[in-house]
Amino acid sequence: QVQLQESGPGLLTPSETLSLTCSVSGGSLSGYAWSWIRQSAGGGLEWIGRIFSNGKINNSPVLWRRITMSRDTSKNQVFLKMTSVTAADTAVYFCARDIYGSGSYFDLWGQGSLVTVAS
Amino acid sequence: QSALTQPAAVSGSPGQSITISCAGSISDVGTFNLVSWYQQRPGKAPTVIISQVSQRPSGTPTRFSGSKSGNTASLTISGLQAEDEGDYYCCSYAGQQTLAYVFGTGTRVTVL
């Protein structure tokens, strides 16, 4: 059974760089894309970007200047870095398995990693 | 690209049917038959209940159904049950060259 687990710093101060890891267990990265999605306290979901198992990346045009995604196929991990965080980046960050192409939906989600940006 | 528009709240009594709308544009819902719906319970991650407008993934009860007309998608829950309380989000593919996915604003479903 494939499971996703996010890990991150928890608390950041403004202007720092956020680094998140999504560890995939019970399966591999192959054949899927892996999306990052965040949810602010107001409740809305926002798609951040995705990385395919071949390394190709799609980014949100709202955030692309600040985000970098990568993956380590040997460790079944994907990574998200976001620079120059502000309070507006406070959210729960999810990674999700992206059934891209003819499906285009998220069939598995991690439990989420709460990131708080405060001085 | 703006978020898809959903009603903030919908309620119904057990056994009733409710419908949640998801209004998008020609750039997303209107062009792609790639609308999915997610249920989220408090403190939990979303789970997919409908994909590709009307497909039920394994495990989704048959009382959940999806449809689309023009730029608006809809989720119907027929025979509402207490366990259906929670937040519901639609999501549409929006094209690889721009924002790949756009989510709806979310709807809180209350079972009276």
Q: What are phi and psi of A112, to 5 degrees?
A: 100, 150
Structure tokens at B81: 């049950």
Q: What is the mean pLDDT of each run of 10 residues along chain A (119 residues)?
A: 96 97 96 96 91 92 93 96 97 96 92 96
> CB–CB of B45 and A45 under 8 A?
no
pLDDT tens profile B68-102: 999 999 999 999 999 999 999 999 999 866 668 99
Return all residues near A101 (Cβ < 8 A) that are at least 6 apart: none
User: Does A52 contact chain B (CB < 8 Å)?
Assistant: no
State the nearest Cα–Cα gap between A119 and chain B, in angstroms.
Answer: 25
* Distance set, CA B91 to CA A58, A72, A77, A79, B42 (Å): 17, 28, 25, 23, 19
* Distance set, CA B42 to CA A22, B27, B70, B86, B108 (Å): 22, 31, 32, 7, 11
pLDDT tens profile A96-117: 999 988 889 999 999 999 999 9
Chain B CB contacts of A44 under 8 Å are 3, 103, 105-106
Tell me what percent of the residues of chain B surpass a pLDDT of 70.
96
> CB–CB of A104 and B87 under 8 A?
no
The mean pLDDT value for B5-9 works out to 98
Query: Which pLDDT does position A43 carry in this prediction?
Result: 80
Computed over every residue of chain B, the mean pLDDT equals 95
Residue B111's pLDDT band, with cuts at 50, 70 and 90, is very high
Query: Which pLDDT does position B2 carry in this prediction?
Result: 83
Query: Which pLDDT does position A102 carry in this prediction?
Result: 82
Contact between A110 and B46 (Cβ < 8 Å): no
- CB atoms under 10 Å from CB of B97, counted, come to 8
